[in-house]
Structure formats: structure tokens, C-alpha cells
A and B are shown apart, each in its own frame.
Chain A
Amino acid sequence: MAPSIRIELDPGPWREPEFADYRVCGDTVGGHAIVSTLEALSCRAVTLSVGWHTEGRGDRDEAFVFEQRVHEGELSSGEHRFPFAAKLSDGPMSYAGHYMNIIWQVKAQIDLAWKRDPMAEKKFYAVLP
């Protein structure tokens, strides 16, 4: 059975549940990428990245503020937690417009040889201080 991967963010600067996914531009966004596997597997890499991309009518633009290979090689069966902490750039802030949206997200991916790479994405909102 294929391994699963999910992302949990550390609590943000606001306590209200509706602002749980809000972060401030220029601050740090941290959390864990959690990989669960029923059997031991050999992977090329587990990669974490934090960045923004555009969606909408225009073709995609994207940029990364953080990329890290957090693991290489064998993963034993069970759950593995890989922490990360990425400093956000001063901009752009998240945006929902007419032709364009700017979306920030954390992305985690397991690079497996000759198999589909499991991937997880966690979107968050970057706002100005």
C-alpha cells in the first residue's frame, strides 16, 4: 500500500479558529510533514517546499521561499514527522482577484522510484503585518 503524507501547521499568531491558517508576511511558518507507511519503503527523497503561485486566467507563475530535502533513503514502517520552519518573504500577500489569485502553500512530496509520488499541499493565507 502506498505511503500517505500530510502537513500540519504550527499554530499561527491568531487564536480565533477562523484565522488558524493565516500567517504574516515576513514571519515564519512552521509545522510538520507527516509520512505514514504500513511497510518499510525506499525513497529517493522527501521534499518540503513553501512558496506561492498564481491561479486564474493567466499562465502560472510561482516562486519558492523555502525548499528542503528532509529525508533520503529508507523509511521504516510507521509514522515519521519532519519539522520545517520557513521564513516568508515580505510579499506578495495572498490575493483573490478577478483574473488572478495568489496562493501560498506548503508542499510535501515523497520521491519514489518507478511509482507515483505521494504529495500533500496545505494552503495558507499570507497577510501583511
Chain B
Amino acid sequence: MKSIFRPSLLTTRARSKLGIGCTTVFLLVFALAFGGFGGWGVYQQFRVRHFLPVEGVVTHSQVEVNTGSDGTTYYPDIHFRYTVAGQTHDTGRYRIQSISSSGRSGKQKIVRRYPVGSKVQAWYDPDKPQVAVINNSFSFFPVIFLAIGVIAVGIIIGIWVWHIKGGSVRWMSSLSGRQTSAARKPHGHGVRLRRFKQAPYVSSFREMAVFCLAWNAIIWTIALAMWFATDENELPWLAWLSLVLFIAVGVYLVVKTIMMGMARVKLTEPTLTASVHPLRLDESFQVHFSQRAKQPVYVERVAVKLVCRESATYRRGTDTHTVTHDVHEAEHEIAVDIQADSRHPIDATLELRIPADGMHTFHAPRNRIDWLIQVCTAVANWPDYTETFELKVDSRRAYTT
């Protein structure tokens, strides 16, 4: 009888390096394409600022239509004649870069503004007199492309920093189901618990700040481009409504980031140690909470919540969604009405129990069950400091040897 044996051809480290290499190549091509196009466009825009004025006469003025697989786009195709240093040129055009976009009516307005035979105020390149434009205003469309290219480069750098720090190898190991089995520390030896960093939640202040910055940078770049480009493009109201929604999310992120930052002004990061870790079902354990204050604060309460959370990830088309549900929640107040300062930290100990009928920790690529401890320090008249720590519950019962 033969058994089906599937050997692993690559080590975890080699696979993570291969994956990162492929991602880097893809993103690099993406960055070069978008960044190159956007950078060239921005450079052209700044060049136009140094053009010199000249009078011209429009010789051709109509809306050009481009029909492609992704729809129909338009641009105002305007040519004009002008004379520089005794030489006549027929090469003048509307803008330094002709970019097609949707919205025919906006382009028709421009064409109506410059009928054939009309005189126009134009600008020509003193270094290349054959290059001249009517519209020398700054267009933000190339900026968007450049921003996308810069973001792609940022992602590449971030991925390599993450890989160098060993994060990719740990992530690959967790995908293959190989989890490092930590030796259980017996009672009396505190095990410091780690912060919970699993997506889709952005739990740390640093992650939230970076995400907020990236989100608002992208959205405001697009908003400015849309605002300054409206003389050429009439965008449907749905586009503006969508933008308003994205801006609203950006504002929420800014407020949340500021509140998280404010909480960190007065308090340091809390530490949580467990008397036993990893845990088992039906096991009691003690949790010790400690947090220092950077300045004298009045802490109204410190609450600790033991949570068992299901996470399920699915794809719909090209979108990935993750839903979560807390199947177990138990909140405990471990301290109330405390005056804390740098010399008198907040210290509290609490006994918790993993329920006998609970589920152990389960990690698969698309489905997870996590045990978490959420800590919330409520400071009077100040945003709360919240942090989430992860527990590991083995697939054994407390009384099993």
C-alpha cells in the first residue's frame, strides 16, 4: 500500500524570501510605471511655469473621443498658430500633457471657449519655441500617479524591513500550521503576554498613525486633484459623495489617532503577565497588570476583559473581507479611583479562568479563534488607554498531563 507523501521542497525562510522577491518585482514594475508617468507629468507641469507669453490663433478645436475596453474618454484637442522670433509655429496645443478622462461636457465647454479663428493668450517654451500651450495651470492628475508610485516604493521598503526583522518567517510558519510550542511555565513564574497584532484590527498607536497618514495622504491628494481639475472634468455627484465618505473616514482616523496619542501622553504601555502560559481549557490563572503614569493622573477605573474571538476571512471577487464575533466575553474591574504618578504605578492582580466548554486557540490561514485580554485604563477627563494582549490556549484540558 502506497502512502501519499508530499515533501516540502522549500524551507519556510526560502519560501518567504521567494514570496517577498516576487512581490517586490511586481510592486517595482508598478512603482516605475506609475511613478515614472506621474513624475514626468509633474516635471512637465513645473516646466510650463517658466514659459513665456505669446498670442496665438486657434486653428483646430474639437473634442477627441477615445473608446477603449474600459470605456470612453475625452480630451479637448485644440491647436493654435503663433509666431516667435519671426518664425511661425502650428504646434501649439491646449495642455502640456493630453490626458483623456470621462465627462464629455467639461471638454465641450473648453472647446466652445476656444473656437477656430479666435485669438488666445498662450505660453511657449523659450528653450523649445515649437512647444506652446494655452492652459498653464497646474493639474493634479500626474501628482496622483506619482503618489501611487511613491506608496508602492514605501510598501516595498516596509515589506523588506518586516522580512529583515523576521516577521515574514514567523508569518509563513503560522500559515503552515507549525506553531512553536512554548514550554508551559509553571505557577509562580510570570509570563509576559504579547500585544495582539492580528489584522484587521490596528491595535498599536504606531500602526494607527501610519494607517491614518497613508489614508489621508491618498484621499486628500485625490480630493485636491478632483477639485482643481473640475474646470476640465464634470464629475458625477456620486464621485463627490464617495469622496466625502472617504474624507469622513479620514477625519475619524485622525480623531482616533489623536485620542490614542493623547492617552499615551499620560500613561506608558501597560504590561500584563500571566502566571501560566500557554493555558489549557478549564484552567485558572492569575494575571498581573502594571502600568506607569508619566505624570500625576487620576485613574477612574481599570477594566480587564477576557475574550474569545472568531475571525473568518473570505474573498468576494478581488476584495478580501474579515468578520469577527466574540463568542466569550467576561469583564472584570481590577482597580478604581487610583492616584498614580511616575513613582506609584498602577498594579493589580486578577484571577481568570478559561471555561471548560470553551474552544482552544486555533490559527488557520482564513479562520482563527483567538483568546485575548483587553485592558482599558480610564483616566478622568482624558481619552481611555486601551490595549489588547493575546493568550494561547492549548488543545488540552487543565487536568491532562
Q: Do A and B bind each other?
A: yes
By a beta-carbon cutoff of 8 Å, the part of chain A in contact with chain B is 25, 47, 54, 56-61, 63, 67-72, 90-93, 95, 97-100, 102, 128-129
Chain A residues within an 8 Å CB radius of B396: 90, 128-129
B359 at the binding interface (Cβ < 8 Å) = yes
Are the C-beta atoms of B395 and A92 separated by less than 8 Å?
A: yes
Name the residue of chain B whose CB is nearest to the CB of A66.
Answer: B3
Known contacts A59-B314, A69-B4, A99-B323; A54 and B281 CB within 8 A of each other: no
Chain A residues within an 8 Å CB radius of B1: 68-71
By a beta-carbon cutoff of 8 Å, the part of chain B in contact with chain A is 1-4, 177, 281, 310-315, 323-325, 327, 359-360, 362, 364-367, 369, 394-397, 400
Are the C-beta atoms of B3 and A25 separated by less than 8 Å?
A: no
Are the C-beta atoms of B360 and A100 separated by less than 8 Å?
A: no
In the assembled complex, 9 residue pairs joining A and B whose CB atoms fall closer than 8 Å, in A order, are A58-B366, A58-B367, A59-B313, A67-B3, A91-B395, A93-B359, A93-B360, A95-B359, A97-B369
Which residue of A63, A70, A99, A129 is within 8 Å of B310 (Cβ)? A99
User: 7 tightest CB-CB pairs across the interface, nearest first?
Assistant: A58-B312, A91-B395, A61-B364, A98-B325, A99-B312, A57-B312, A67-B4
Chain B residues within an 8 Å CB radius of A99: 310-312, 323-325
Are the C-beta atoms of A57 and B3 separated by less than 8 Å?
A: no
B296 to chain A, nearest CB (A): 44
Given contacts A59-B313, A69-B4, A100-B312, 9 further A-B contacts (CB under 8 A): A58-B312, A59-B366, A61-B364, A69-B2, A92-B395, A97-B327, A100-B367, A128-B396, A129-B397
Name the residue of chain A whose CB is nearest to the CB of B325.
Answer: A98
Task: Give the distance in Å from the alpha carbon of A61 to the alpha carbon of B177 in the complex.
Answer: 11
Are the C-beta atoms of B400 and A129 separated by less than 8 Å?
A: yes
Are the C-beta atoms of B366 and A95 separated by less than 8 Å?
A: no
B3 to chain A, nearest CB (A): 5
Chain A residues within an 8 Å CB radius of B367: 54, 56, 58, 61, 100
Chain A residues within an 8 Å CB radius of B360: 91-93, 128
